[in-house]
Amino acid sequence: MGAVAGAVLSFAQWLVLRKAAAHAGWWILANMLAWLGGMPIIFWGIDAAQKVQSLGGALLLMALALLVAGVVVGGIHGVFLVRIRPAQ
């Protein structure tokens, strides 16, 4: 699901990026891989938060899951973004 969502979400971004950057096609792969890694963390956080007894604990768990997912997604994006260069 993450890979499909990443491809769908990045398609419109790629349409704009390809006009300004060489190797813009990498952006679609980057999003596919990033969300392939990030979505399971988010889903795990939602599932785990529903099992916590207190609202504060559930919110803290979700915040932590979203932080970890953001680090994973951002890290993967970063690896690819340094390879996408401005068009000549």
Q: Are 13 and 64 in contact (CB under 8 A)?
A: no
Name the token pair of 17.
């990026």
CA distances from residue 57 to 4, 14, 33, 62, 82 in whole angstroms, order as listed: 31, 39, 30, 9, 37
**What does the mean pLDDT of the chain come to?**
92
Question: What's the pLDDT score for residue 77?
Answer: 94
The residue ranges of every structural domain in the chain are 2-86
For position 5, what pLDDT does the model report? 84
Enter the pTM of the model.
0.84
